[in-house]
Amino acid sequence: MTAITATTSMNNFRQDFLRFALECDVLRFGEFTTKSGRLSPYFFNSGLFNTGDTLARLGRYYADAALASGVPFDMIYGPAYKGIPLVSALAIGLAEKGHNLPYSFNRKEAKDHGEGGLIVGAPLAGRVLVVDDVITAGTSVRESVQLIREHGAEPAGVLIMLDRMERGTGTLSAVQEVTAQFGIPVIAIASLPDVLALVSANNALTEFRGKIEVYRGKYGVV
């Protein structure tokens, strides 16, 4: 297996991705109550990437972010259930860019017939990049890291769509908690500064910049 270590200075994909999310109604601006009860000026619903075309495009953006990060990895893994189509899309996106890597995902319950076990696809080996939509409580990441290590492999990092960069129950964000707990990087296709850049450049959205800044002041992390 050949590990990916490529880097790139081209970060245009971040704004392209957010415009794509806006086009798909995945990214919305207005007034939304989050799961934690906070009143947020923007909302991100990744479940609306729900067609073949949008999933293909998403896979390319994931691949762009993975390659731009410089994080070395040998294969990719998606936790059930959301991670299954995401890791498939990422594998295709990477292959289109010349990086044909193995991928796998897990079952929620072990299969006791046929090929058996929890893992579907390539065996977990080497440095494994986990792909998910977002990190909230970090439960999926903890389970993934444990499973990867139980199979004798090492987690290389976690790849997500958007880092909201806001505190959880403590002083750290969910992303920072993952890095602190497991010592692995979290790569996001886009993060809060990218959202701010998007609204600043769009006359129809500039009214939300101040609201996002206020929200960031209340709940954001550095």
Which pLDDT belongs to residue 113?
A: 47
Are 159 and 190 in contact by the 8 Å Cβ rule? The answer is: no
Res 153: pLDDT: 98
User: Which tokens sit at 104?
Assistant: 């796998």
Rounded CA separation 137/174 (Å): 6
Q: What local confidence, expressed as pLDDT, does residue 120 receive?
A: 94
Q: Where are the domains of the chain?
A: 12-219
pLDDT, residue 115, reads 53
Give domain 12-219's CATH number out of 3.40.50.620, 3.40.50.2020, 3.30.870.10, 3.10.20.30. Answer: 3.40.50.2020
Contacts of residue 54, defined as CB under 8 A and 6 or more positions apart, other chains included, come to: 20, 24
Query: Closest Cα to residue 174, out of 133, 119, 206?
Result: 133
The pLDDT of residue 10: 55
Sign of dihedral through CA atoms 93, 95, 101, 103?
Answer: positive
Q: Is 171 exposed, middle or buried (0-12, 13-18, 19+ CB in 10 A)?
A: exposed
Give the full edge-to-edge strand order of the sheet including 127-131: 117-121, 103-111, 75-78, 127-131, 154-163, 186-191
Q: Which residues are CB-contacts of 177 (< 8 A; sequence separation ≥ 6)?
A: 138, 168, 170
What dihedral angle (degrees, nearest 10) is formed by the CA atoms of 178, 54, 84, 153? -50
Q: What pLDDT is recorded for position 24?
A: 97
Task: Please tell me the predicted confidence (pLDDT) of residue 110.
Answer: 61
pTM of the model: 0.91
* C-alpha to C-alpha distance for 17 and 161, rounded to whole angstroms: 9
Q: Is 47 left (phi over 0), alpha (psi -120 to 50) or beta?
A: alpha
Written as tens digits, the pLDDT of the chain (222 aa) is 344 444 444 568 999 999 999 999 999 999 999 888 899 999 999 999 999 999 999 999 999 999 999 999 999 999 999 999 999 999 999 999 999 999 999 987 665 544 557 899 999 999 999 999 988 767 889 999 999 999 999 999 999 999 999 987 789 998 999 999 999 999 999 999 999 999 999 999 999 999 999 999 999 997
- The rounded Cα 192 to chain-centroid distance in angstroms is 14
DSSP string for 129-185:
EEE-S--SS-HHHHHHHHHHHHTT-EEEEEEEEEE--BB-SSSSBHHHHHHHHH---
pLDDT number for residue 72:
97
Active centre residues (catalytic)? 111, 113
